[in-house]
Structure 1
Amino acid sequence: METRILGKDLKVSAIGLGCMGLSHANGAPTEENEAVRLLREAVEDGYTFFDTAETYGYKEDPHHNEKLLGKAFSGMRGKLVIATKFGVWFDYSENEYHPKLNADSRPETIRKSVDESLKRLNTDYIDLYYQHRVDPNVEPETVAEVMSELIKEGKIRHWGVSMASEDYIRRAHAVCPLTASQNVYSLIAPDESLFSTFEELNIGLVSCCPIAKGLLTGAYTKGQEFEQGDYRRGSAWFSDETMDKTQPLLDYLTQLGKEKNATLGQLSLAWMINKKPWIVPIPGTRKSSRLKENAGAGDIRLTAEEVAGIDAAITIGTT
């Protein structure tokens, strides 16, 4: 798989793997041996960039996902780029399927989090350490200063933010340069309002939910049922209204796919990586077939006219 550069010098595969769904938000977690097998298969398929977080787990094992990566990647650490996150914790006391998200980016919490993540990941450094969500009680300068210290100590090599505003990004970057920002970005959530900021500051965009949790594959229909613990259950993305609005876009992609010999999911990924050299999508999957399919998106070349055509189809689907 081809590679891209996030920030100044973080080299990653053009398509990364979002690992959350193996442990969290997609219903019951994947059986451990199968998850480990899939992660190792991803390496064989050319993935080098793997995204997790300290909170990707479930009530009985809230840090399940990091431990999976630590087990799967034993002995191959130097070949891979691992991103994980700090700054939130889940309260499972009221709803174990949709726990309440709480922010905490106090310096002492960050230091505790990084040390525990290093142990679970079975590594002595983290390639990319994200602030998972902004903590309204902690200034960005304070968080950035801790990141600067962790970089000097060798515990992390790069840092980033997730779902942060332009003002927050600029203030944090001024103290310790950011390598990446992780945001929801896809054909049904095509917000490019921060693009000029990313280009000015040389910050990469890591796109989470780039296929809209599978919606853009065309595999789901109206009335789709999802199991308890699957965050798609009740999601507006899978409502009948959204399905109807998205259909013209899917029809357009279907026709383009015939011309490019590509699937809907591949075109959804190719659209963004052909837009900017600093965008890296991290689709998740539990299936070997999807793993290979998504990896193939990195080889699809779209002309400026084809990208513009997809942009026009997006407009039809969102009006």
Structure 2
Amino acid sequence: MHTCSIGLFSVSAVGLGCMNFCHGYGSGATPQQAQAVLHAALEAGVTLFDTAALYGFGASESLVGPILQPHRDRIVLASKGGMAGVRGADGVLRRVIDGSPQALRQNCEDSLRRLGTDVIDLYYLHRWDPRVPIEESVGAMARLVQEGKVRALGLSEVGVDTLRRAHREHPIAALQSEYSLWTRNAELGTLAACRELGIAYVAFSPLGRGFLPGQLQDVTQLLASDMRSSMPRFAPETYARNLQLLAPMQVLAAQAGCSLAELAIAWVLHQGEHVVALPGTTRVDHLLEDVRGGSIQLSPTVLAGLDALFQPQAIAGDRYGLQAQREVDTEKYAFEQTGR
């Protein structure tokens, strides 16, 4: 598996997202399962591990921190602030987006404590808070760098204009956004802007939230706690239309001599030397399959076939519902709002 640059860091082209252990996809993993996946990733050469204050309202950080601590000198540890659990007057934890300097500092201090480390290698603004100028949020994060609490800064799910404004305030090492054959908003501008500015593009959900490997056939069985159950693309009728893409994709996978999951990872990494794939999983066999995808070279014929098959207009349904769309600064949403 080759490596990619994120700021001053050199990381494995395939990293490991640690959300799945306790957030987003239903039942998650037991601590023993998570530990097995983390150890397998280390043995397979994965050097980028990504978590966030939001994931399990801190549970992911508390889980991965002690396991990764003995390996801190050979890995890049990433986390995110600006979107975390806040306990209301009723005692219930709720997700809150808050990009104020005070919140970001508190989020960072909490993450350092849960992770059991003195410094976070790569610290992201999880979501841009439109109530706070991006310069103000990034400026607060830059002070964390100056204080030695954070080594490099990243942003998540922002568009080109926001990215450029942030980068002028302080160098941005990475932009993390969803990118896969199934979700190609990056090609509307952010992928090229990252290349121009020397920013790594960290592609989360490169397997289309479990769609592209072809193993999820019946979405009616998704748990109510699984975030996909509320996503338009995973509505039963819509998902059935999308499943029709997998048979021709399987033909291309056979030509490449790999599985659907390996093909999806390989395609993402073929989109630029500045692109890092960040899949998440609770299973060791799936992790190893993802890692293998990082070493596969695709022919021009296979790449052209995938591009033709997964044109955006061929995908049924939006990736987010309206509320979640309002929380991301993507070019698609900006275009729909402004008509530009």
Taking structure 1 as the reference length, the TM-score comes to 0.91
Q: Deviations over 1:92-134 (max 9, x none)?
A: 87xxxxx864211111111111111111111111111000001
Other-structure match for 2:141: 147
Alignment length, in residue pairs?
Answer: 312
Alignment of 1:78-93 (within 5 A): 78-90=73-85
- Residues 245 and 317 in structure 1, CA contact (< 8 A), matched pair in contact too: no
**Structure 2 matches for 1:30-179, cutoff 5 A?**
30-57=29-56, 62-90=57-85, 101-179=95-173
- Judge conservation of contact 1:124–1:155 (CA < 8 Å) in 2: yes
Is 1:206 matched up with 2:202? yes
Name the CA distance, whole Å, in 1 between partners of 2:121 and 2:173: 10
Stretches of structure 1 that go unaligned for 5 or more consecutive residues are 94-98
Cα distance change of structure 1 residues 169 and 223 upon mapping to structure 2, 3 Å threshold: closer
**In 2, Cα distance between the equivalents of 1:305 and 1:278?**
22
TM-superposed CA distance for 1:223, in Å, is 4.6
Q: Per-residue displacement from partner, 1:128-165 (whole Å, max 9, x unpaired)?
A: 10000011121111122222222122111111111112
Of stretches 249-258 and 43-52 in structure 1, the one that deviates more from structure 2 is 249-258
> SS where residue 43 of structure 1 aligns?
helix
CA contact (8 A) 1:15 1:282 kept: yes
Q: Is the 8 A contact 1:37 1:72 kept in 2?
A: no
Partner of 1:10: 9
CA RMSD of aligned residues (A): 2.2
SS of the equivalent of 2:171 reads coil
What is the TM-score with the length of structure 2 in the denominator?
A: 0.86
2:181 is the counterpart of 1:182: no
List alignment gaps of at least 5 residues for structure 2. 317-340
Displacement of 1:196 in angstroms is 2.1
1-structure distance, mates of 2:16, 2:124: 16
Q: Which moved more, 1:309-318 or 1:66-75?
A: 309-318
Answering whether residue 314 of structure 2 is matched by residue 317 of structure 1, we say yes
Residue aligned with 2:164, SS: helix
Question: Percent sequence identity over matched residues?
Answer: 34
Question: Does structure 2 retain, via aligned residues, the 8 Å contact 1:19–1:52?
Answer: yes
C-alpha distance after superposition, 1:150-193 (max 9, x if no partner)? 21221111111111122211111001010111111111111111
Distance 2:71 2:272 in 1: 30
Using a 3 Å threshold, how does the CA distance of structure 1 residues 169 and 271 change in structure 2: closer, same or farther? same
- What's the CA shift for 1:305? 3.1
CA distance in 1: counterparts of 2:232 and 2:158, whole angstroms: 22
